[in-house]
């Protein structure tokens, strides 16, 4: 079996991730921050260690500004719903995932104004277009770091500089880039970074978070959920302390332990080495698929401008049929359709049918890629 669906979730997980989750449940299964006994204390230590590990990876200014959430979608909703008010103006791109677009559309019905900046057919964003879209009412710029449809890397640092020049913060969706591209929230000027744990960070599902830079004043960001935090239990109001303000209820301790192990696994190999490996695989895919008659490849043709995500179609064939044949005849697992990203597919011209998406990962081999190219060549044969 060749697994080429890492943009959906990484698989298989590193053994250290599975072991860390098992150890947490076996030896530290207490509720962190809720009790003073040894199991609770050990659980809290593991959760805080995970904050430090993630803060180090993203060069976050303070581990307490790493807020754990259920996933990147939860983190994005916290950032959007917590910071925007009726009358506010938001600028985003035409390559955004529904994790961004659906909450923005809901907020639009509640009184915010939204401008979607059109990207090029290969998914590239011109920062100057963002500048032109901004107004005196703009309160937030929201973009992804890399597209889940074409892998196109957006110019986050340049857009952040433009936004900051107007006194506007930027929220970055790093679902496709965390663990795959180097991220430094301070050097890149990222005010809020939403990430998921189960993709490039190699962690389990049900994990993710929101990193708040020091530019973010927590008093201006409301919690998405309120409830017990294990702190200030004498009050019935939500505490203002970080991260407690945004982490009500019992955390996913086992998942967080697994996420920390995944991040350490990535750090040991280095994001730079992982990036180099995936670039080589991606370039081979781009070149090999582009040479097949009847195949159309979407997005940048240079792997240096995208992550390990390659979308294609075959003339006269439905993407679902292609995906089924890849699975049934060649044991190649991929994803087909719109990838929860209709705006991006409208941008690249593949709406409503979508594309076949191949997304290699750190454990994908060059032989896997060559076998995949050969399989697509056979499927595309008249």
Model confidence at 204, in pLDDT bands (50, 70, 90)?
A: very high
Contact 4, 375 (CB under 8 A): no
Q: Are strands 310-314 and 355-358 parallel, antiparallel or unpaired?
A: antiparallel
Helix, strand, coil fractions of the chain, as percent rounded to 5: 40, 15, 40
Contact 107, 83 (CB under 8 A): no
pLDDT of residue 38: 87
Provide mean pLDDT across the span 179-207: 98
pTM above 0.85, yes or no: yes
**Rounded (10°) angle between helices 319-330 and 366-380:** 120
- Residue 26 to residue 19: CA distance in whole angstroms: 10
Q: Is the pLDDT of residue 94 over 90?
A: yes
Rounded to the nearest 5°, which phi and psi values hold at 181? -115, 145
Q: Which residues are catalytic?
A: 340
Structural domains of the chain ordered from first start: 2-10+270-380 (3.90.1150.10), 15-269 (3.40.640.10)
- Residue 211 to residue 80: CA distance in whole angstroms: 14
Q: Is the pLDDT of residue 382 over 90?
A: no
Contact 280, 366 (CB under 8 A): yes
| 23-54 pLDDT, tens digit each | 999 988 888 878 889 898 999 999 999 999 99
């Amino acid at each position: 079996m060749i697994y080429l669906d890492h943009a959906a979730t990484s698989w298989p997980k590193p053994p250290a991730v599975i072991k860390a989750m098992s150890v947490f449940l076996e030896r530290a299964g207490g509720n962190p921050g809720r009790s003073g006994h040894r199991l609770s204390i050990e659980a809290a230590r593991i959760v805080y260690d995970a904050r430090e590990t993630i803060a180090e990876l993203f060069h976050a200014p303070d581990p307490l500004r790493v807020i754990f959430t259920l996933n990147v979608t939860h983190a994005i909703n916290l950032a959007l719903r917590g910071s925007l008010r009726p009358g506010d103006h938001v600028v985003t791109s035409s390559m955004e995932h529904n994790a961004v677009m659906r909450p923005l559309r809901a907020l639009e019905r509640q009184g915010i104004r939204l401008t979607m900046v059109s990207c090029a057919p290969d998914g590239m964003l011109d920062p100057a277009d963002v500048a032109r879209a901004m107004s005196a009412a703009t309160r937030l710029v929201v973009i992804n770091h890399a597209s889940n449809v074409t892998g196109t890397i957006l110019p986050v640092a340049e857009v952040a500089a433009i936004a900051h020049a107007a006194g506007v913060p930027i929220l970055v969706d790093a679902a496709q880039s965390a663990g795959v591209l180097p991220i430094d929230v301070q050097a890149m000027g990222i005010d809020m970074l939403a990430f998921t744990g189960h993709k490039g960070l190699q962690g389990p599902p049900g994990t993710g978070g929101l990193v708040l830079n020091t530019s973010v004043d927590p008093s201006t960001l409301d919690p998405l959920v309120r409830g017990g935090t294990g702190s200030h239990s004498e009050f019935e109001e939500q505490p203002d302390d970080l991260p407690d303000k945004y982490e009500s209820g019992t955390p996913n301790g086992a998942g967080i332990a697994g996420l920390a192990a995944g991040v350490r696994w990535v750090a040991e190999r280095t994001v730079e080495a992982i990036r180099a490996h995936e670039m080589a695989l991606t370039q081979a895919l781009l070149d090999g698929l582009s040479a097949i008659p009847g195949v159309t490849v979407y997005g940048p043709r240079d792997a240096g401008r995208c992550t390990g995500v390659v979308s294609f179609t075959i003339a006269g064939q439905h993407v679902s049929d292609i995906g089924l044949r890849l699975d049934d005849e060649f044991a190649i697992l991929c994803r087909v359709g719109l990838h929860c990203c209709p705006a991006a597919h409208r941008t690249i011209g593949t709406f409503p049918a979508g594309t076949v998406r191949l997304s290699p990962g750190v454990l994908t081999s060059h032989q896997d890629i060559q076998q995949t190219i050969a399989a697509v060549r056979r499927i595309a044969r008249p």
